[in-house]
Amino acid sequence: MDAFIRILEWLIPAGGIAGGLTWLLNKTLRNLRTTKEIHDTYKTLYEQISKTILQLQDEVSDLHRELGRFRRAVSKASACRYYDNCPVQHELLREQKVDTKPKDRKRQRTGERNQDSGIRSGSGVEGEPVDTG
């Protein structure tokens, strides 16, 4: 048994076991620190997103209130005694006419281009109009 202990002492120098235990402990601590950092990052992001969502919910509820007020005002406009000269109604009708106006898009036909110059665009042929008279 004494020989076995001497062989172990020769194979594992003094402090080898302590070094191994220290390495194992450091590895475990590194993993724990990394996990904690990730957890803290997620927690911070969650808090920021929660604040943003609450702000957006407040804005949406304000917009719903304003939309309700606008709908009530528009529905009461027809019962207004100043209906014929109501500036709000004229403004709403004007906006409605602008939105429903069809867009006029004119396109040139390919044969109608560059009639005055005698050059057809894209043909690659340049020349003067021929006078046959």
- Per the CB < 8 A criterion, the answer to whether 89 and 74 are in contact is no
Lowest mean pLDDT among 65-69, 87-91, 118-122: 118-122
pTM: 0.42
* Dist. CA 20–CA 16, nearest whole Å: 6
Q: Is the pLDDT of residue 71 over 60?
A: yes
State the average pLDDT over residues 56-83.
85
Q: How far is CA 100 from the centre of its chain?
A: 30
Q: For 11-32, what is each residue's pLDDT tens digit?
A: 677 677 777 888 899 999 999 9
pLDDT(63) > 90: yes
Residue 122 tokens read as: 């894209």
Task: Report how far residue 10's alpha carbon sits from residue 8's, in angstroms, rounded to the nearest whole number.
Answer: 5
Q: What is the mean pLDDT of the chain?
A: 76
Half-sphere exposure of 6 (CA within 13 A, CB side): 3
